[in-house]
Amino acid sequence: MSALPASVTDPAALRALPAAALPELAGRIREFLVDKVCRAGGHLGPNLGVVELTIALHRVFGSPRDVLLFDTGHQAYVHKILTGRGDDFDTLRRTGGLSGYPARAESEHDVIENSHASTALSYADGLAKAFALRGQVDRRVVAVVGDGAMTGGMCWEALNNIAAAPDRPVIVVLNDNGRSYSPTVGGFADHLAELRRDGHQTGQNLFTGLGMAYVGPIDGHDIAVLERALGQAAALGLPVVVHVVTVKGKGYEPAEQDETDCLHAAGVVDPATGKPAAAGGPSWTSVFADEIVAIGAKRDDVVCLTAAMLHPVGLGPFARRFPDRVFDVGIAEQHAVTSATGLAMGGLHPVVAIYSTFLSRALDQLLMDVALHRLPVTFVLDRAGITGPDGPSHHGMWDASVLPVVPGLRLAAPRDPTRLRDLLREAIATHDGPTVIRYPKATAGHDIAAVARIGNCDLLRETPAAEVLIVAVGPLAGACLAAADDLTAHGVAAGVIDPRWIAPVDPELVKLAARHRLVLTVEDTTATGALGARLAQELAAAGAATCAATFALPARFLAHGPREDILRAHGLDAVGIATTVLKRLALIHHPKEVRP
């Protein structure tokens, strides 16, 4: 693999290249992306599709004076290369290395740090207003928006405002590849297909109907044509949509032939075949995928919803088995949740499968539509806790701290595959309110047997007269058991219990905890609002003398890196848990001698 041309170190160098050199440059960038992303994992298909488009953008517009916004940020790898970060791609998504999304700390060319879709047009609207108010009329705002992101409601809320202000020009580059993650769904996708087929013959479309100018459709892989269209759009001085047609995964056959997601978000893969490296065992997602099919076979009232993430959340097998009982609503999480409410009102049991980090976009709907009506909707939160290489916007650190405030909601965290199956069935058997199951993006590991059931909790290790009780939340149970072994070597007896349902707090867990000197709750969420904090409140209300502590993640955005490394860095491994217990015991036994 040859290196990228030394001349491409910044946009100014790119603009100085002769047009005849650009096709070769595009080919070299594609080779570079395949080599680097296949080694590190990341968003390959989206970036292969925007090579020529990104080159044209940086030749027509003068970043950072002109603001380039990428929605979603996963299509910004080429932008990173063209703004001098090609040498950093060996560190892509590694601890301390290059982020897989725009990152303001990396470059002045990265204005927003986004990986949640459908936001860039709202940023663009605000920036254009700010430039107008400050008299910076020479600064142009360009938002690159995928067709999948346009299925999200925020895009249309933003367009409603952008179109109403002809004196504040915003250039919307609609990257139309027919897919977001999977093929784009809904009436808007049909409209774009019509525009691709018939061109702009009628002179009217959704965008012109809003009062915006429209340029397109444009071949997104012809740099000369792109430069002319973008220059034309900039010269109009009006809000304008430039409709660019691209091929996701362009130039890399395994991606172009992958009908599932065009290698959208790949792990480490073989560059020659595009096939993933051998996995270390079944993932949490695959366990859910198998179990929801088994449940669906027995209960024809179970239906599933997702927001443009059919395959990533494991609903592909269910969709193949029961195609009429799966609804992909596009990148529209709010609509997904309230639509699920309507399905429940109609006598069905909806299962909303979604990434943990994306559920935060629909908290109002969960609270005021589902919970207020006490309806049986089950939420399955993939990528909960520490996600890993995707970084702060994807870590599912907030759901387990925020969701317990929802009245009537029950929240579960399975420790192993068998518990995921059991808890999913229990959730779907619930008829009087919402239920939530959360698990990480990781290998599910082996089953961990319980020695007894106390209330709804599983006692994993019982130690007579133990002064310490470790409350192990979800997949951290294995580390908690290993920590208990370590504590035994230090002469400290510690019991371990898995609450299974972490909200509301089980009264039997409170009673058991009250019989111990120290209770340490270990969980992969932020401490505020976590189970440990709520358990401490219950113990205080009961007048227990127990010292209750929460061992969780800090309430700040955590950088990207391998999941295990991030957990270890914050003490959420066996050594860290045991060390924390010993320090807490020292404080209890010798409060005047040991400083916190």
- Residues that constitute the known binding site for thiamine diphosphate: 74, 115-117, 148-149, 177, 252, 333
Active-site residue identified among 140, 168, 325, 361: 361
| β-pairing verdict for 240-245 and 518-526 | unpaired
**Three-class secondary structure of residue 435 per DSSP:** strand
Q: How many secondary structure helices (H) and strands (E) does the chain include?
A: 23, 18
* Size of the chain, expressed as the number of residues it contains: 596
How many CB atoms are closer than 10 A to CB 556?
A: 8
* Residue-wise DSSP of 358-416: HHGGGHHHIIIIIITTT---EEEEES-B---TT-TTT-B-SHHHHGGGSTT-EEE--SS
**Integer CA distances (angstroms), 406 to 365, 368, 377, 412, in order:** 11, 9, 13, 14
* Residue-wise DSSP of 455-504: TTEEEEE--TT-SEEEEE-GGGHHHHHHHHHHHHHTT--EEEEE-SEEES
Strand positions, DSSP E, 273-324: 302-306
Q: Side chain identity at 21, as an amino acid letter?
A: A
Alpha carbon distance 260, 45 (integer Å) = 11
Do the Cβ atoms of 532 and 523 come closer than 8 Å?
A: yes
Alpha carbon distance 26, 281 (integer Å) = 38
How many CB atoms are closer than 10 A to CB 568?
A: 15
Do the Cβ atoms of 370 and 341 come closer than 8 Å?
A: yes
Residue 280 per-residue DSSP state: S
Is residue 223 within a helix (H) or strand (E), and if so which, with residue range?
helix 223-236
Q: Helix crossing, 22-40 with 223-236: angle to 10°?
A: 100
Give yes or no: 361 in active site: yes
Q: Is the peptide bond before 72 cis (omega within 30 degrees of 0)?
A: yes
Instruction: Supply φ then ψ for residue 595, to 5 degrees.
Output: -85, 145
Active-site residue identified among 52, 291, 333, 538: 333
Q: Side chain identity at 410, as an amino acid letter?
A: R
Six token digits for residue 410 = 């029950």
Give yes or no: 108 in active site: no
Query: Residues at the annotated binding site for Mg(2+)?
Result: 147, 177
* CA neighbor of 46 nearest in space, from 26, 71, 25, 68: 71
Distance of CA 547 to the CA centre of its chain: 36
Active-site residue identified among 59, 248, 383, 563: 248
Give yes or no: 298 in active site: no
Cite the active site residues: 248, 333, 361
